[in-house]
Amino acid sequence: MVACGQTHFAIQADTVRSVIRPEEGDVDAMLSTFGITTAPVHLSEQFGLTGSYLSPESRILVCGMQATHFAFQVDRVMGLHDIDTANVKPLLPHFIGPERRWIAGMFLFQQTVALVLHTGWLLSKDRGSRALSLPVFEPISDERPAEAHSPTFIDVPTGRLGSPNSNSMDFEEVTDADDTPWAQI
């Protein structure tokens, strides 16, 4: 579990090869042992956001599989946590942009919500450029971009949405607030 700002991210533990303190000696030399020759990029920047490099608890994560490794800077490492995959919920269907490629799911964590990062995306070579260059998909009601349906290891199929009728004013008859129990409080 790591944090960037107030957002918590879960990264598959077996992809994390090392955790380095930025002030811990020759970082470049340490990264070079993993074959990494470029400076670590803040995880937030992978999403096209601005990352803070000033966190006193920031760490550099070395992630990788087999021979390919990448280094990311995060604001805080929160340690190892066993997560029951049954508790991981798919990203809500309202989110239809590139975030569907970044986030595999979400779960309740402490008093907040943590986001599970897609390992395949995190370890892909074109992850940064794709995050920044891909168009934002406009929300549409009955047709969604392929990404919205791309299966993940926790994705569940979503039912087909009904066709909207934008001009419809099909109001139902209301005689009291029986259908709005919140209004009776």
Partner 1 sequence: MLTTLPGLRSRKYAAGPVKAKPILLLLFSVGGRRMAARASDVGGIWPWIEVVSIPSGTPHLSAVVRHGEDILPVFDLAGRLNVQIKGESLLCLIAKRKDGPMAVCIDGDIPTLQVVSGESIRPVAWKDSDVIGTCRIEAEELPVYSLAHLGLVR
The Cα–Cα gap between 58 and 23 comes to 10
Member of 1, 31, 63, 103 binding partner 1 (CB under 8 A): 103
Q: Does 115 bind partner 1 (CB under 8 A)?
A: yes
Pattern 64-93, partner 1, x by CB under 8 A: -------------------------x--xx
Contacts of 98 (CB under 8 A, 6+ apart): 130, 131, 134, 136, 137, 147
Q: Tokens standing for 144?
A: 């969604």
- E strand or H helix at 60, and its extent? strand 59-65
Q: Are 106 and 88 in contact (CB under 8 A)?
A: yes
Site for partner 1 in 39-58 (CB under 8 A): 44, 47-49
Q: Tokens standing for 164?
A: 């909207």
Q: Does 182 bind partner 1 (CB under 8 A)?
A: yes
The Cα–Cα gap between 133 and 142 comes to 25
The distance of closest approach from Cβ of residue 52 to partner 1 in the complex, given in angstroms and rounded to an integer, is 13
**Could you give the angle at the alpha carbon of 51 between the alpha carbons of 46 and 56, nearest 5°?**
130
Q: Does 106 bind partner 1 (CB under 8 A)?
A: yes
Q: Does 102 bind partner 1 (CB under 8 A)?
A: yes
Q: Does 1 bind partner 1 (CB under 8 A)?
A: no
Q: Per residue in 127-136, is it b (16+ CB within 10 Å) or e — as a string?
A: beeebeeeee
The distance of closest approach from Cβ of residue 85 to partner 1 in the complex, given in angstroms and rounded to an integer, is 16
Q: Does 162 bind partner 1 (CB under 8 A)?
A: yes
Q: Does 128 bind partner 1 (CB under 8 A)?
A: no
Question: For binding to partner 1 (CB under 8 A), which residues are involved?
Answer: 5-8, 44, 47-49, 89, 92-99, 102-103, 106, 108, 111-113, 115, 134, 136-141, 158, 161-162, 164, 166-167, 169, 171-175, 177, 179-180, 182-183
